[in-house]
């Protein structure tokens, strides 16, 4: 069984409702939600001409391989009305695999650890809340150390 950390964000419609529904669907899909961070509101990242996001993080366990997990998460996004039109654009739900055990994957379709997680307060803040001593498999720093080094 793999231990995985998934970033969750929403900035359209019932943002908190979409987050809650995504967590329920993860459990329905065989992705066992172990712990969820607090939900924080943050300004958009990348493409800034859009509403603020609600973000949180889920610690999950699954028997899915990384690629099968990605497929399941994208199906959950589609089920909840996610449309992909603008990179980093508005969305009902966004589910990102941040860490999968200590695995490092670098393919065109999937990169683990998530390549930009160390620059994102909305990832590191909730990750530091639920797994402060978790070590980044490439950088060798804890989530708290990475959070303390970020510019907000």
> pLDDT per position in the chain (152 positions), as tens?
999 999 999 999 999 999 999 999 999 999 999 999 999 999 887 777 789 999 999 999 999 999 999 999 999 999 998 876 666 668 899 999 999 999 999 999 999 999 999 999 999 999 999 999 999 999 999 999 999 988 65
Active site residue 94: yes
Q: How much of the chain is helix, strand and coil, in % rounded to 5?
A: 30, 25, 40
Among the listed residues 90, 93, 65, the one whose alpha carbon sits nearest the alpha carbon of residue 79: 93
Catalytic residue among 14, 94, 106, 133: 94
Active site residue 133: no
Among the listed residues 58, 67, 72, 65, the one whose alpha carbon sits nearest the alpha carbon of residue 25: 72
Catalytic residue among 15, 28, 84, 96: 96
**Domain 2-117, CATH among 3.30.1490.100, 3.40.50.11400, 3.10.180.10, 3.30.70.560:** 3.30.70.560
CA 118 – CA 98 distance, rounded (Å)? 10
CA 21 – CA 122 distance, rounded (Å)? 20
Active site residue 109: no
Active site residue 82: yes
Total-model pTM: 0.94
- DSSP single-letter state for residue 119: G
């Amino acid at each position: 069984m793999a231990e995985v950390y998934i970033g969750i964000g929403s900035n359209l419609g019932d943002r908190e409702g979409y987050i809650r529904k995504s967590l329920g669907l993860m459990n329905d899909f065989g992705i066992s939600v172990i712990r969820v961070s607090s939900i924080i509101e943050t300004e958009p990242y990348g493409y800034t001409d859009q509403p603020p996001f609600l973000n949180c993080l889920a610690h999950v366990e699954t028997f899915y391989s990384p690629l099968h997990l990605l497929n399941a998460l994208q199906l959950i996004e589609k089920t909840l009305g996610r449309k992909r039109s603008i990179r980093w654009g508005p969305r009902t739900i966004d589910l990102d695999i941040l860490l999968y055990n200590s695995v490092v994957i670098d393919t065109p379709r999937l990169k683990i650890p998530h390549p930009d997680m160390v620059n994102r307060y909305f990832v590191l803040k909730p990750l530091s809340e639920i797994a402060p001593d978790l070590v980044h498999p490439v950088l060798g720093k804890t989530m708290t150390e990475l959070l303390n080094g970020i510019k907000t």
